[in-house]
Amino acid sequence: MNEEQKLADFEARIERGEIIEPKDWMPERYRRQLIRMMSQHAHSEYVGMLPEGNWITRAPSLRRKMVLLAKVQDEAGHGLYIYSATETLGIDRKELLDQLLNGTAKYSSIFNYPSLSWADMGTIGWFVDGAAIVNQTMLAKSSYGPYARAMIRICKEENFHKKQGYEIITTLANGTAEQKKMAQDAVNRWWWPSLMMFGPTDKESPNSAELMKWKVKIKSNDELRQRFVDLTVPQAKAVNLTLPDPDLKLNEETGHWEFGHINWQEFYNVIKGNGPMNKERLKARNEAFEKGKWVREAALAYAKKHNN
Amino acid sequence: MTNILDKNIQNALFNYILGLGDDRLILGHRLSEWCGHAHILEEDIALGNIGLDLIGQASAYLSLAAEVENKNRTEDDLAYFRNEYEFKNFQLVEQPNIDFAYTIVRQFFFDVYEGIFLEELAKSKFEQMAGIAKKSIKENIYHTRHSRNWILRLGDGTEESHVKTQTAINDLWKFTGEIFSENENDNILINENFAPDLKPLKSKWNEIIKSVLNEATLEMPENIGFSSGSRSGIHTEHLGHLLAEMQIVARSFPGAKW
Ligand SMILES: [Fe+2]
Ligand SMILES: [Fe+2]
């Protein structure tokens, strides 16, 4: 079979809704797009541990401390799981990690914002994990088997993450005046960056068309963003918190919540590395890696001495 | 059961359980400091797991302590609203992480103690306390396997890891003496078969530590210069900083629910 026939076959399989497995033939471009997307996802889980990790030692009750620690630890598990799924495409974790550490790989822009108060733990769970659920529920139907299966497993935990976040926010919103203020402040800071998490608008998204043609993605950035807004607005109302968008209003005809203009200049700035925490996040990852060098070497030397 | 206890015993029991809770809370807190900063993702998960187990146990002990005290305090009141001198954890567990070798050595010393201790505590006549101990035995087996394996890898890994680990052992050694010491409080409970007698257990601990260090090509230090007094609230300077961080949010909003 020549390449052209293989590609036609592959696209027919996708068309029929078949799932592509690692050993199946796939166009190089499909493989590369998946590696890019999945590794960005894995890096996001890994870097995403930092803003919440920042509050584990200050969690205000034992239960909250345990839930937050368990949550951040789950994210480590997600990272590991998605790195493994990416390895099925013929690249190893070490190479992916190098790309993260030397700054050439991307990860979700949201984690370049600082976590400034305890209420951020609520808002991150509510918005960021909430947005992740919207995105990952779609990816669970992705055409690449290992990615889809990873998403199904991860989504269960994301639901718990979102729940614990919304629970924190609900408690604060119903708490003392100071707690309520803290909650509103966090919502104000995280709302717009959360909308940006879904990526550029469909018009500006360079990879979207191809990813959707191959059913790696089933829905577009704008569709997913809209779904998130529609889900979140009523949740904010339910706890009497205001979303910082004066243009937010329900379109009675479509049933969708229309929202104001997203500051895309900020988004591209963060993507380029100029967000409030880009340098710190990368520095933290590099520091952990450097400080751990002797430990990894020791483990390797020990294994060599004792395993053969 | 707690409301029929003799005042003396009730008080001794409260202090004793508080100590057990504090050990696990402070050590669990130290491990949680690693979350996101370990040398490899797998270790972020492992240290997080162990920290979670310990904080979970702490929560159970502190809630039992509050019940024994019977003054309407909760486990959170005990964790977040006591001062340095009211904490009864071993000085060993409050020592800072410094590096992975210190973290593992501190953990290994504690895990081996915990393994020996839990088996005895599980026989306590005070059933609620014995119950928590029984539940933690399985967790301890996993913790000990983890720290023991790392002692072997670090001790018998590279020259650098060997030196770092030996340094940690030498520095932390002086904090190990008090984990088998008994005070008056303990003696009241030992007489009632509420708490195990620790004296016979010390040699068992020594044996295990010695054999693992030996296998890891590491040296066991001499028994000199032991610190003590943590069970009555004497600590190193590190505890105050740890508590300042741990308690800051809870204390900044008195009366708030979380
Ligand atoms: Fe995740
Ligand atoms: Fe999550």
Q: List CB contacts (< 8 A) between B54 and chain A.
A: none
Q: Which of A56, A284, A298 sits opposite B153 (nearest CB)?
A: A298
Question: What percentage of chain A carries pLDDT values higher than 70?
Answer: 100
SS (H, E, C) chain A: CCHHHHHHHHHHHHHCCCCECCCCCCCHHHHHHHHHHHHHHHHHHHHCHHHHHHHHCCCCCHHHHHHHHHHHHHHHHHHHHHHHHHHCCCCCHHHHHHHHHCCCCCCCHHHHCCCCCHHHHHHHHHHHHHHHHHHHHHHCCCCEHHHHHHHHHHHHHHHHHHHHHHHHHHHHHCCCHHHHHHHHHHHHHHHHHHHHCCCCCHHHCCCHHHHHHCCCCCCCHHHHHHHHHHHHHHHHHHCCCCCCCCCCEECCCCCCEECCCCCHHHHHHHHHHHCCCHHHHHHHHHHHHHHCHHHHHHHHHHHHHHHC
A257: which strand partners? A250
Q: What is the DSSP letter of B222?
A: P
Say if A116 is an interface residue toward chain B (CB within 8 Å).
Answer: no
Q: What are the pLDDT digits (tens) for A181-193?
A: 999 999 999 999 9
Q: List CB contacts (< 8 A) between B62 and chain A.
A: 62
The answer to whether residue A51 scores a pLDDT higher than 80 is yes
Are the C-beta atoms of residues A75 and B45 closer than 8 Å to each other? no
Cβ partners under 8 Å of residue B211, min gap 6: none
Residue among B88, B90, B67, B70 at smallest CA distance from B18: B88
* Helix intervals (H) in B175-237: 184-191, 202-215
Say if A98 is an interface residue toward chain B (CB within 8 Å).
Answer: no
For residue B181, the model assigns a pLDDT of 85
Q: Which of B35, B40, B62 sits opposite A49 (nearest CB)?
A: B35
Per-residue pLDDT averaged across A172-176, rounded? 97
Ordered by where they begin, the domains of chain B are 2-252 (1.20.1260.10)
Q: List CB contacts (< 8 A) between A175 and chain B.
A: 256-257
Residue among B136, B106, B105 at smallest CA distance from B120: B136
Say if A101 is an interface residue toward chain B (CB within 8 Å).
Answer: no
Q: Which of A61, A63, A302 sits opposite B153 (nearest CB)?
A: A302
Are the C-beta atoms of residues A232 and A176 closer than 8 Å to each other? no
For A88-97, the CB contacts below 8 A with 24+ separation are A88/A22, A88/A146, A89/A22, A89/A31, A89/A34, A89/A35, A89/A38, A90/A31, A91/A35, A91/A39, A96/A39, A96/A42, A96/A43, A97/A289
b/e for A5-16, b at 16 or more Cβ within 10 A? eebeebeebbee
Rounded to a whole number, what is the distance in Å from the CA of B147 to chain A's nearest CA?
13
Q: Cβ of B248 and A58 within 8 Å?
A: yes
Q: What are the pLDDT digits (tens) for A197-243?
A: 999 999 998 888 889 999 999 999 999 999 999 999 999 999 999 99
Distance A155 CA to ligand 1 centre (A): 8
Distance from C-alpha of B225 to C-alpha of B203, rounded to nearest angstrom: 18
Tokens coding B163: 């030196």
For residue A183, the model assigns a pLDDT of 98
Question: What percentage of chain B carries pLDDT values higher than 70?
Answer: 97
- Helices A293-307 and B127-155, packing angle to 10 deg: 80
Q: What are the pLDDT digits (tens) for A103-143?
A: 999 999 999 999 999 999 999 999 999 999 999 999 999 99
Q: What burial class does residue B128 get, using C-beta atoms within 10 Å of its C-beta: 0-12 exposed, 13-18 middle, 19+ buried?
A: middle
For residue A301, the model assigns a pLDDT of 97
Task: Give the containing element (helix H, strand E) for B62.
Answer: helix B41-69
Confidence of residue A261 (pLDDT cuts 50, 70, 90): very high
Chain centre distance of CA A212: 19
Distance from C-alpha of A86 to C-alpha of A103, rounded to nearest angstrom: 19
A257: phi then psi, degrees, rounded to nearest 5: -85, 120
For residue B69, the model assigns a pLDDT of 96
Are the C-beta atoms of residues B185 and B15 closer than 8 Å to each other? yes
Rounded to a whole number, what is the distance in Å from the CA of A44 to chain B's nearest CA?
12
Distance B83 CA to ligand 2 centre (A): 34
Q: What is the DSSP letter of B2?
A: G
Q: What burial class does residue A158 get, using C-beta atoms within 10 Å of its C-beta: 0-12 exposed, 13-18 middle, 19+ buried?
A: buried
Distance in Å from the first CA to the final CA of chain A: 44
Q: Cβ of B36 and A64 within 8 Å?
A: no
Say if B240 is an interface residue toward chain A (CB within 8 Å).
Answer: no
Q: Cβ of B256 and A175 within 8 Å?
A: yes
For residue B197, the model assigns a pLDDT of 93
Q: List CB contacts (< 8 A) between B44 and chain A.
A: 49, 73, 76
Quote the ipTM score: 0.96
Pairing of strands A249-250, A257-258: antiparallel
CA angle A152, A80, A90 (to 5 degrees): 90
Distance from C-alpha of B67 to C-alpha of B74, rounded to nearest angstrom: 8
Are the C-beta atoms of residues A228 and A131 closer than 8 Å to each other? yes
Say if B215 is an interface residue toward chain A (CB within 8 Å).
Answer: no
Say if B62 is an interface residue toward chain A (CB within 8 Å).
Answer: yes
For residue A286, the model assigns a pLDDT of 97
Q: Which of B59, B164, B245 sits opposite A58 (nearest CB)?
A: B245
Cβ partners under 8 Å of residue A146, min gap 6: A21, A22, A85, A88
Number of CB pairs, chain A paired with chain B, less than 8 A apart? 143
Instruction: Write out residues in chain B with pLDDT < 70, as ranges.
Output: 1-4, 224-225
Distance A78 CA to ligand 2 centre (A): 8
Per-residue pLDDT averaged across A147-174, rounded? 96
Residue of B153, B163, B215 best to disrupt the A interface, most CBs of A under 10 A: B153
Rounded to a whole number, what is the distance in Å from the CA of B49 to chain A's nearest CA?
8
Q: What are the pLDDT digits (tens) for B126-154?
A: 999 999 999 999 999 999 999 999 999 99
Say if A292 is an interface residue toward chain B (CB within 8 Å).
Answer: yes
Amino acid at B241: H
Say if A299 is an interface residue toward chain B (CB within 8 Å).
Answer: yes
CA angle B154, B155, B158 (to 5 degrees): 70
For residue A172, the model assigns a pLDDT of 98
Q: Cβ of B154 and A298 within 8 Å?
A: yes
The chain A residue lying nearest B43, using CA atoms, is A76
